[in-house]
Amino acid sequence: MKGTQLGEFEEVVLLTIALLFDEAYSVAVVEELSRRLERPISLGNVHRTMQRLEEKGLVQSRFGEATAERGGRRKRLFVLSTAGVQALHQARQLRNEFWAHIPPAALSPHLS
């Protein structure tokens, strides 16, 4: 399984790509992550993470149509690959297994 486990930021970027579906490009991912995480997110970090996810085969990209609002440039749109969907399901399953086995007392506040 080495190489397929996701880091936390990779996971939230993948989740954001899934959330945005056919409109997932770097700037949209940054805006959505910043809004949901309630903190500024670097475009460079998102861009590098999306490239890394593509190199790992977890996302696929294609270029959209050129638009006047972007000065004739095309957006690079990302979607999850089958491996990306599987990686997200595995991450969710692992987290759910941990949560299911945490004793309730471990999550109650303890006084020192």
Q: pLDDT 10s per residue in the chain (112 long)?
A: 345 678 999 999 999 999 999 899 999 999 999 999 999 999 999 999 999 999 999 999 999 876 666 666 788 999 999 999 999 999 999 999 999 999 988 988 876 5
CATH code, 8-102 = 1.10.10.10
Yes or no: say if 49 and 30 are a contact pair by the CB < 8 Å rule.
Answer: no
Q: Which of 68, 65, 74 is nearest to 26 (CA)?
A: 74
Q: How far is CA 78 from the centre of its chain?
A: 11
Q: Give residue for tokens 């936390």.
A: 8
Yes or no: say if 6 and 91 are a contact pair by the CB < 8 Å rule.
Answer: yes
* pLDDT for 10: 97
DSSP 62: E
pTM of the model: 0.85
